[in-house]
Amino acid sequence: MIRTGFPTAGPTLGEVGEEQVIRAIVGAAPSTINGDDAAVLAPAAPNSRVVATTDMLVEGRHFLPAYTTPYQLGRKAVVQNFADIEAMGARPIAALLAISAPDTLPLAVVEQLAEGIHAKVEEYSTELVGGDVTGGDSLVVSLSAIGSLGGNLEPLKLNRARPGQRVVAHGRIGYSAAGLDLLRSGARVPTVLEPLIDAHQAPELTPGRGVIARAAGATSMTDNSDGLVRDIGLIAARSRLSVDLEPAAIAPDALLTAAGELLGVDPWRWVLAGGEDHTLLGTIDGEAPAGFRTIGTVRKGDGVTVGGEPPAYTTGWESFR
C-alpha cells in the first residue's frame, strides 16, 4: 500500500521548544554516545582511515511531503549518505543529523523522521550520534556520515578505472525515477508497480557491498545518485577512459516497462538519466564481486556509450537547475 503525507496535527516545534525537539529525536533514535557537546567515537581499528560525507534533502527541491512520509525520508537520508561511504569501499560507523524547520512543523514529523533514520542505521550496526536543530522557512534535513576504511588497499576513487575492466553494479537502476513519475502523474498505481514507488521513497542498499567490492579487487566506484550515464561518465572522465554499457544488462525490466506503458514514457529515460537509486557502480578486473552484476566494459577513449552507440538520454540531476 502506498503511504504518503506528513502529520499535520499535534504540538508544533514552536510550541514545544528546542529542548523537547532534541529529546524527541534522541528518544526516537537512541544512542549510547549522544547527548554531550560532541560524540566521542571508539578508536578506529589499526591501519584504518576515517571517511566522511554529508548530503541534504530540501523540501520543495529534493522531496515533497505529498509524495513521501517522514519515516521514509529518514531512511532515504541515511541511504544517500551511507552509499557514498560504501562507494569508497568503507564501512559506515556513525551518522549526525541537522534539521532546519519552521516553528509550525508538527513535532510528530521530526519524531517519525528520526525513527526512520534509527531503523536504517541499525541495519548497519551503527547509531545517530548527534546533530543540531534550528528554525527556518522550510524543512531541510542534512545528514552526515562517518565511515572507516580498513586495511592498506586504496579507496575506490573515481580516477582509478583501467582499460579492459568490467563495469559492475549492485542494486536497481531506474526504479526511483519511475516511482517519482508515478507519484507525480496522479494515476492509479497498480499494486504490482508499488515497488517502484517504494524505491523512490526509501531506496535500499545492502550493507557492506562496497567493502566486499574493494576486497575483491575493485579499483573505482560511485553510486547512482544523479543518473547512470552522468555518474558512470564521471568515472570515465576522471579516469580519462570510456565506458561502454551493455544494453541487455541495463535494459528496463518488466516493472519499468509496465510503468512506461502506463505513463507513456520511454523507460530507458529512467534507466539512463533517472538517478536516486544509489546503486553502487564500480570497475574491476576479473569477475563481478558477490552481489554485483556486469553491466559494461572500460575502454580507451572518452565518454559513455550504450552498445557502442551514444546513449539516448544523457541528462541527470542538476543541483542548480
**Domain harbouring 171, CATH code:** 3.90.650.10
Determine the Cα–Cα distance for residues 291 and 64; give it in Å rounded to an integer.
32
Would you say residue 321 lies in a domain? no
The reply to whether 224 and 120 lie within a common domain is no
Would you say residue 34 lies in a domain? yes
Would you say residue 312 lies in a domain? no
The reply to whether 145 and 175 lie within a common domain is no
Each residue's pLDDT expressed in tens, for the chain with a length of 321 residues: 788 899 999 999 999 999 999 999 999 999 988 888 899 988 777 889 999 999 999 999 999 999 999 999 999 999 999 999 999 999 999 999 999 999 999 999 999 999 999 999 999 999 999 999 999 999 999 999 999 999 999 999 999 999 999 999 999 999 999 999 999 999 899 999 999 999 999 999 999 999 999 999 999 999 999 999 999 999 999 999 999 999 999 999 999 999 999 999 999 999 999 999 999 999 999 999 999 999 999 999 999 999 999 999 998 877 776
What residues contact residue 94 under an 8 Å CB cut-off, 6+ apart?
A: 39, 41, 126, 127, 128, 129, 145, 146
> pTM for this structure?
0.95
- Write down which residue in 150, 182, 207 finishes a domain: 150
Would you say residue 160 lies in a domain? no
**What is the span of the domain harbouring residue 52?**
13-150
What residues contact residue 99 under an 8 Å CB cut-off, 6+ apart?
A: 110, 113, 131, 132, 133, 134, 139, 140, 141, 142
The reply to whether 103 and 172 lie within a common domain is no
Q: What residues form DSSP beta bridges with 51?
A: 147
What residues contact residue 252 under an 8 Å CB cut-off, 6+ apart?
A: 174, 260, 267, 268, 270, 271
- Tally of domains in the chain: 2
